[in-house]
Amino acid sequence: MSEATNIHPIFNSLLSREKKQEALNQKGIVLWMTGLSGSGKSTLARALEFALHDLGYNTMLLDGDNLRTGINSNLGFSEEDRTENVRRSAEVSKLFVSSGLITICSLISPTEEIRAQARDIIGEEDFYQVHIDAPFEVCAERDVKGLYKKALAGEIKNFTGLDSPFEIPADPFVRIPTHTQTLEESLKQLLDAVLPVIKLSNIK
Ligand SMILES: Nc1ncnc2c1ncn2[C@@H]1O[C@H](COP(=O)(O)OS(=O)(=O)O)[C@@H](OP(=O)(O)O)[C@H]1O
Ligand SMILES: Nc1ncnc2c1ncn2[C@@H]1O[C@H](COP(=O)(O)OP(=O)(O)O)[C@@H](O)[C@H]1O
C-alpha cells in the first residue's frame, strides 16, 4: 500500500502509552460501532461519550459522516471506497488509542472483511466491536435523514442494506438491539459492557 521509500518510523514515543493511561486513569480501547444507517450508532456514540465524560473518562468520538467531510472527503460508497474509508478511520483510531483515549468510532463498516481490516490495523487487544442492531425495515421507518426514501426511490445508489451489502457481525463484543430498547436501556447495556474493560484497576 505504501508508496514512500526511505522512511523510518519511530514506533514508541519516549512517553509510553502506559504512562499516558496512568495519567488518565483509564485503559484506552477502540469501540468500533457498526450497523445500518439509522440503527442508532451516532445517537448511542454521543450518549456514551457524555456518560463516560460524566464518569471522568477521556474520549474521542469519530463518526463516519463527520470523517467524510474531512479526511475521507474524496471517498464515495463503492466497495473500494468504503474499504479505504474504514482503513483511514482505523488508522486514526489507532493514533488516539495509543494516547490512552477511549476512542468511539461509528461507521457502517458493512462487511466482515472490512471490519477485520479495522481490527488488524488497530490490533485485536484494543478492538471492541459493537453491533448496533436494528433491522432494515425499522431503520427505513425511522429514516432519520430521509436517505431510505431516496434510496428506495432509486435516487441513491450503493445504499447499505438495499443494493450494497450489510453482513451481520458473527461475534461482536456486544450486540445492542435498538429496535427493542429505549435509548436509556441501550446506553445501560453498552456502559455495563464497557466500564469493566476501561477501568485501569481491573487491568493491572
Ligand atoms: N449509499 C449510502 N449508503 C450508506 N450510507 C450513506 C450512503 N450515502 C450517504 N450515506 C451517509 O453516509 C454515512 C455512512 O458513512 P460511513 O463512512 O459510516 O460508511 S462506510 O463505513 O464507509 O460504509 C451514513 O451515515 P449513518 O446514517 O450515520 O450511518 C449516511 O448518512
Ligand atoms: N435504543 C435506541 N438507541 C439509539 N437510537 C434509538 C434507539 N431507539 C430509537 N432510536 C432512534 O433511532 C435513530 C438512530 O439514528 P442515528 O443515531 O442517526 O443512526 P445511525 O448513526 O446509525 O445512522 C434516532 O432517531 C434515535 O432517536
> What Rg value do the Cα atoms of the chain yield, rounded?
17
- Residue 9 included in any domain: no
Given this model, what pLDDT does residue 111 score?
A: 98
Cα(66) to centroid of ligand 2, in Å?
17
- Residue 15 included in any domain: no
Which CATH number fits the domain that encloses residue 123? 3.40.50.300
Cα(43) to centroid of ligand 2, in Å?
5
Annotated binding-site positions = 35-42
- pTM here is 0.96
- Of the residues 80, 108, 159, which should be mutated to test ligand 1's pocket, given the most ligand atoms within 8 Å of the CB? 108
* Cβ count within 10 A of residue 36: 24
Is-catalytic flag, 109? yes
- Residue 5 included in any domain: no
- Residue 65 included in any domain: yes
- Give the range of the structural domain holding residue 51, as residue numbers without chain letter: 34-195
- Going by alpha carbons, the residue nearest to atom 3 of ligand 2 is 183
- Residue 119 included in any domain: yes
Q: Determine the atom of ligand 1 nearest the C-alpha atom of 151.
A: 1
- Residue 82 included in any domain: yes
Reported ipTM exceeds the 0.95 cut? yes
pLDDT tens per residue, the chain (204 residues)? 567 888 877 766 678 999 999 999 999 999 999 999 999 999 999 999 999 999 999 999 999 999 999 999 999 999 999 999 999 999 999 999 999 999 999 999 999 999 999 999 999 999 999 999 999 999 999 999 999 999 999 999 999 999 999 999 999 999 999 999 999 999 999 999 999 999 988 765
- Residue 141 included in any domain: yes
Number of domains in the chain: 1
Given this model, what pLDDT does residue 6 score?
A: 84
- Residue 142 included in any domain: yes
Provide the mean pLDDT of the chain.
Answer: 95
Tell me which of 109, 164, 186, 201 is the catalytic residue.
109
Q: Determine the atom of ligand 2 nearest the C-alpha atom of 185.
A: 1
Q: What is the DSSP string of 55-116?
A: TT--EEEEEHHHHTTTTTTT--SSHHHHHHHHHHHHHHHHHHHTTT-EEEEE----SHHHHH
The 8-class DSSP code of residue 179 comes to G
Q: Dump pLDDT digits (tens) for 35-57.
A: 999 999 999 999 999 999 999 99
